[in-house]
Amino acid sequence: MNTLYLKSFIRCKRKAWLDFKGNKSFEIWSPHKAIDKIHQYQIFSEFCNGDIYTGLKGCEKGSQGVIGFKIKENFFKNITAEINPQLLVKTLGISKWGTYKYLPAVYKLGNKTTKEHLLDLAFTSILLENFQESKVNKGLVISSFRGKINVEEIYLNKKLRKKVLNILMSLNQSLEGFIPEITQDRKKCTICSWQNFCDKEAKEKRYLTDIDGIGSKTALLLKINGISDIKKLASYSEKELGDKLFKFNNQKYEKASKFIKQAKAYFYGKSFYISSNNDSYDLLSKIDKGFYIFDIESNPDSKHDFLFGFLIKNNFLSKEKHPIYKPVLNLKNYKEEAYKEIINILSSNKEWPVLHYGETEKIAIINIGKKLNFSFEEVDLLQSRFVDLHILIRSSWILPTKNYSLKTVSNWLGFEWEQKNVSGSKALYWWNQYQITGKEIFLKKIIKYNKYDCLATLNIAEWLIKNKSKKN
Ligand code: SF4
């Protein structure tokens, strides 16, 4: 039993089991984890003024911060436990090393201090106390926002220690048993390294949570009503299901219709046209004289959009494999030249619409307009040119996909990114690598990735127009 399994167990029981006993060849590399590690080291190093050392030697010589340190002990009831503290911070006290001792510290990404942080600290403190022969009353949660380090002190009281002991007992039991079920809360799976492995099983077992819009609570409600999998859901009548979905109040029949259609699409691998309006016709008439495709890459933690990519198409019907692509880098968080360049691109064809996928791009352009002191009317005019294909496809089609993200929809359409296994998180990882090393190669990778995101968006626009008159 170790800190890693404990943290995984808090998130998902199955993840802890897979980390311990799973076939590692099914696990995928997680850019989130790598990004976390990079941030963690940078912030710890800054917090300890660079006085960080690795392993037991660091404790013996009294470094301000110690990382890469393991303690393995017989814990309780003959269970061996191992802790890998993220950081030990030197403080006043008496320990086996002299007139100082160490406190455990963890890194926090974002604002919220979670159960995972608290229990990690409590677990570490129990083993650390024995090891350093000195009491540990508190731990630290260290985070950073806009370049400023924040430290929160957590008191490791009896209640918290008892709680972690109980969880460790359950963890131990779970690791000795069979593989736990896939979590009901599938949102947790999006950043999990076992996602592909679990997705495959969920699909085979026709899990209801594979249906877009069905979360753990709705799945439970359906199960209580005898609808245990996607096949069963697909065979239901809309009226009968609507009567059972009372929690959605006056939206219950609309929801029932959507769930059943989505289940049918997923089960039979078929798409359904659901819109009676002419949005797809409008799209063609809007873009036939030329248009932009716009996609940005961002670091959400620092609220920094570091790349704005444009595809420029002056004729929808032209079939060039690689239309003009223009990347605008914004390496510093607020760079007026980059913003002016973006506006110049968009102003060179003022009538052209700007196609994008998801709300981020429109929000970014509104912010740029405000930063450049545009009038309310100018911002309004600019944003009125934006056409969100994500909204358009969701409102007009039910696709046989698990969700409607750019990657999922594009993959279903057969579009392929030239770089293998890429994602927005991977682009963020490259951005981090660029910031650390200054190597241009990472910017080139991000630009190529962004260009393919733009091409994927174009591919969706083409599909929408091609299938505009298709009826079920
Ligand atoms: S993919 Fe989901 S169910 Fe599977 S281990 Fe990860 S969090 Fe748990």
- Interval 404-453: pLDDT, tens: 999 999 999 999 999 988 888 899 999 989 988 899 999 999 999 999 99
pLDDT of residue 411: 95
Which domain-ending residue is among 132, 156, 176?
Answer: 176
In the predicted model, residues of the chain with pLDDT beneath 70 are 276-281, 317, 319-321, 334, 469-472
| 439 plus 371 within the same structural domain | yes
pLDDT of residue 472: 46
Q: Is residue 357 part of a domain?
A: yes
Q: How many CA within 13 A on the CB side of residue 415?
A: 20
Distance 191 CA to ligand 1 centre (A): 9
pLDDT of residue 95: 96
* CATH code, 53: 3.90.320.10
Name residues whose C-beta falls within 8 Å of residue 101's C-beta, 6 or more positions apart in sequence: 90, 91, 92, 93, 94, 95, 132, 134, 136
pLDDT of residue 470: 60
Q: Which residues of 109-143 are buried (b: 16+ CB within 10 A; e: fewer)?
A: eeeeeeebbbbbbbbbbbbbbebbebebeebbbbb
Q: Is residue 403 part of a domain?
A: yes
Closest ligand 1 atom to Cα of 189: 2
Top mutation candidate among 10, 21, 195 for ligand 1, by most atoms within 8 Å of CB? 195
| 94 plus 231 within the same structural domain | no
pLDDT of residue 279: 63
| 253 plus 350 within the same structural domain | no
Instruction: Tell me which residue of 443, 418, 417 sits closest to 430, measured CA to CA.
Output: 443
| 404 plus 315 within the same structural domain | yes
Which domain-ending residue is among 246, 270, 294?
Answer: 270
Closest ligand 1 atom to Cα of 11: 7
Q: Is residue 226 part of a domain?
A: yes
Count of all residues that appear for the chain in the document: 472
Give backbone dihedrals phi and psi of 296, rounded to 5 degrees, phi first: -120, 155
Does residue 10 line the site of ligand 1, with CB under 6 A?
Answer: no
| 29 plus 103 within the same structural domain | yes
Give backbone dihedrals phi and psi of 54, rounded to 5 degrees, phi first: -100, 135
Q: Is residue 219 part of a domain?
A: yes
Number of domains in the chain: 3
Strands laid side by side in the 324-329 sheet: 324-329, 304-313, 291-299, 354-356, 386-388
Other Cβ atoms within 10 Å of 49 Cβ, number: 9
Does residue 183 line the site of ligand 1, with CB under 6 A?
Answer: yes
* Nearest-angstrom CA–CA distance, 329 and 297: 10
Domain span holding position 421: 279-466
Q: Is residue 452 part of a domain?
A: yes
Which domain-ending residue is among 135, 156, 176?
Answer: 176
| 123 plus 65 within the same structural domain | yes
| 224 plus 150 within the same structural domain | no
Other Cβ atoms within 10 Å of 471 Cβ, number: 6
Does residue 18 line the site of ligand 1, with CB under 6 A?
Answer: yes
pLDDT of residue 25: 94
| 356 plus 444 within the same structural domain | yes
Distance 359 CA to ligand 1 centre (A): 27
| 371 plus 395 within the same structural domain | yes
Does residue 15 line the site of ligand 1, with CB under 6 A?
Answer: yes
